[in-house]
Amino acid sequence: MHTALFAYVAARKANGIFVVRIDDTDPVRSEARWETEVLEALKYLGIDWDEGPGKGGSYEPYRQSERSEIYESAINQLKNNGFLYPCFCTEAEMNVQRAAARASGRPFTYDGRCFRLSEKEREKNIESGKDHVWRFHIDPDRLGEEVRFTDLVWGEQVFRTELIGDFVCMRGDGKPTYMLVSPLDDASMEITHIIRGADHLPNTPSQILLLKALGYDPPEFAHLPLITGLGGKKLSKRDSMSGLDDIRSHLPRALVNHLMLLGWTHPDGKEILGFDEIIESFSFERVSTSPSAHDPARLQHLEREHLGRMSPPSILSAWMDSVYSCSVQLNEEHLSTARRILEVVSDEVTSLEAVGRDVIPLVQSPDDETLRELFDRIDRDSALEVIKTILQTCGSGRLDIIEGMAKSRGKKMVYLPLRIALTGMTRGFELSRIISALTVEEVDERLNKSIEILSA
């Protein structure tokens, strides 16, 4: 979501087109449900795409699994032009090469031994059914001695071609790899800007050389800083917000705000930002190259601040779209009550989770079992007397009577049984706020119900 958000903001800032493409060439890592989750997560955050699944566009299809003809054509072109060769090295042999690289303290690059095989040796191995992949040959004589490009975040980048190493373009099962399909799709779809994580920066020179071999000009690149946990630790699975439910557990505008601040700063140092202001203020010059730490506490702070700027109906609507509403069945009467309660307690709501935990339970009268259990923990006779006294008082004078009784009997002796009767809880929002949010009929109904239980 982090890179998708930055790509969306950059596209909107430039009045460009934001494209969603599904990278699903690896069947082990690709399932239809994951695509659905990704698209739903984008929608939840308010990231709408101009071209892609469900929208179409000039460069359909937008699923890599449906673009095999394009890849086959490119592979044949590369083979015919002498850029691809079969590699018969086993995994064990590759591990030996990797171990040797580690021992010498140098980055691993394939040593090119299969490129040096004669055509006759290659044909013999293929005819015998020997497993093989197809590698792209990095040829300095044909592709130049160095790769230069200006990254929009990292600035000028220079790589010696001879140090890059031949990379795999097609697996043994005939499926193309990311190193082929990603740059090829970018070029064939006429993508102008590629925004992705900094972990892809080392792949960039290889992909630029592949595009050059296919006759394409490379796009512009922006590699975003990686996200870590606090203290630079690896981001935990719990905090990675990789699933749809994880994303829907947060207020969209707060999560967008938080994700943008992971690597980018507002020109004026502002922290609480809406989508429009983010887009208006965005520039790659203010994107950092240093890893950014995901701080759950800051996300909670942003959610609290954004909720404080929202109207009660907007808060309720956001909660209904969140994961917290999935297991709750509310009718229109319940929703109306929820709106009234939020009108008086919204300034105390700190998160969407809190709406479901502290507000939504108040829209209905507490169930009998809950009331019996809670009343059994206090003086039932005293509770019955307090509730009867309040029920017999006219609605407009109830708060004064409650306050007077609290002074004479003690706050706990009065407020606790009333809170249980009205909310089915022993703590929560200020009781006077709850009473003012409920109708007289709702209060009377709940008090009468408690009297029946206490009198049984």
Q: In this structure, are residues 328 and 399 in contact, taking their beta carbons and an 8 Å threshold?
A: no
Q: In this structure, are residues 421 and 450 in contact, taking their beta carbons and an 8 Å threshold?
A: yes
DSSP result, 354-382: HIIIIIGGGGSPPPHHHHHHHHTTS-HHH
* Secondary structure (3-state) at 168: strand
User: For position 156, what pLDDT does the model report?
Assistant: 96
**Contacts within 8 Å (CB) and 24+ apart, 382-387:** 382/409, 382/413, 382/417, 383/416, 383/417, 383/420, 383/421, 383/450, 383/454, 384/451, 384/454, 384/455, 386/413, 386/414, 386/417, 386/418, 387/417, 387/418, 387/421, 387/447, 387/450, 387/451, 387/454
CATH number for the domain harbouring residue 399: 1.10.10
Task: Answer whether residue 123 is part of any domain.
Answer: yes
User: For position 157, what pLDDT does the model report?
Assistant: 96
Q: In this structure, are residues 224 and 287 in contact, taking their beta carbons and an 8 Å threshold?
A: yes
User: For position 81, what pLDDT does the model report?
Assistant: 95
pLDDT average, residue stretch 280-287: 96
338 pLDDT above the threshold of 70: yes
**223 contacts: CB under 8 Å, gap ≥ 6:** 151, 153, 154, 196, 197, 198, 200, 201, 204
Task: Answer whether residue 35 is part of any domain.
Answer: no
**436 contacts: CB under 8 Å, gap ≥ 6:** 344, 399
Residue 240 banded pLDDT, cuts 50, 70, 90: low
**443 contacts: CB under 8 Å, gap ≥ 6:** 395, 398, 422, 435
397 pLDDT above the threshold of 80: no
Task: Answer whether residue 218 is part of any domain.
Answer: yes
Task: Answer whether residue 386 is part of any domain.
Answer: yes
423 pLDDT above the threshold of 90: yes
Owner of token pair 């020179």: 205
User: For position 356, what pLDDT does the model report?
Assistant: 93
pLDDT average, residue stretch 84-100: 91
The secondary structure of residue 82, as a DSSP letter, is T
User: For position 277, what pLDDT does the model report?
Assistant: 96
- From the list 405, 410, 409, 413, the residue with the least C-alpha distance to 389 is 405
pLDDT average, residue stretch 163-184: 92
User: For position 239, what pLDDT does the model report?
Assistant: 56
What percentage of the chain exceeds 90 in pLDDT?
A: 73
Which of 199, 224, 249 is the C-terminal boundary of a domain? 224
Residue 433 banded pLDDT, cuts 50, 70, 90: very high
pLDDT average, residue stretch 252-257: 97
Residue 237 banded pLDDT, cuts 50, 70, 90: low
Task: Answer whether residue 405 is part of any domain.
Answer: yes
Write the pLDDT tens digit of every residue in 299-325: 999 999 999 999 999 999 999 999 999
User: For position 232, what pLDDT does the model report?
Assistant: 74
Q: How many domains does the chain have?
A: 2
Task: Answer whether residue 74 is part of any domain.
Answer: yes
Q: In this structure, are residues 341 and 363 in contact, taking their beta carbons and an 8 Å threshold?
A: yes
User: For position 88, what pLDDT does the model report?
Assistant: 94
User: For position 398, what pLDDT does the model report?
Assistant: 83
pLDDT average, residue stretch 244-262: 95
DSSP result, 242-298: -SHHHHTTS-HHHHHHHHHTTTB--TT---S--HHHHHHH--GGGB-SS-EE--HHH
Residue 244 banded pLDDT, cuts 50, 70, 90: confident
Number of Cβ within 10 Å of residue 295's Cβ equals 15
Which of 224, 255, 284 is the C-terminal boundary of a domain? 224
Query: Looking at the DSSP assignment, which residues form a beta bridge with residue 19?
Result: 51
pLDDT average, residue stretch 24-50: 84
CATH number for the domain harbouring residue 186: 3.40.50.620
Task: Answer whether residue 17 is part of any domain.
Answer: no
Tell me what the pLDDT averaged over the chain comes to: 91
**255 contacts: CB under 8 Å, gap ≥ 6:** 45, 241, 247, 299, 303
Cis peptide before 53 (omega within 30 of 0): no
pLDDT average, residue stretch 276-305: 95
Write the pLDDT tens digit of every residue in 38-69: 899 999 999 999 999 989 999 999 999 899 99
Task: Answer whether residue 316 is part of any domain.
Answer: no
DSSP result, 226-251: PEE-GGGPPPPTTTS--SHHHHTTS-
Phi, psi for 158 (deg, rounded to 5): -130, 130
- From the list 78, 221, 75, 202, the residue with the least C-alpha distance to 142 is 78
SS percent in the chain: helix, strand, coil, step 5: 55, 10, 35
Which of 194, 224, 254 is the C-terminal boundary of a domain? 224
pLDDT average, residue stretch 227-235: 78
User: For position 402, what pLDDT does the model report?
Assistant: 87
What are the tokens at 343?
């009108």
CA distances 31 to 34, 38, 43, 66, Å, are 5, 11, 19, 14
Whole-number Å distance between alpha carbons of 431 and 434: 5
Q: Which range marks the domain in which residue 195 is found?
A: 67-224
Question: Whole-model pTM?
Answer: 0.89
pLDDT average, residue stretch 273-280: 96
Whole-number Å distance between alpha carbons of 206 and 162: 11
What percentage of the chain exceeds 70 in pLDDT?
A: 96
CA 179 to chain centre: 25
Whole-number Å distance between alpha carbons of 366 and 292: 45
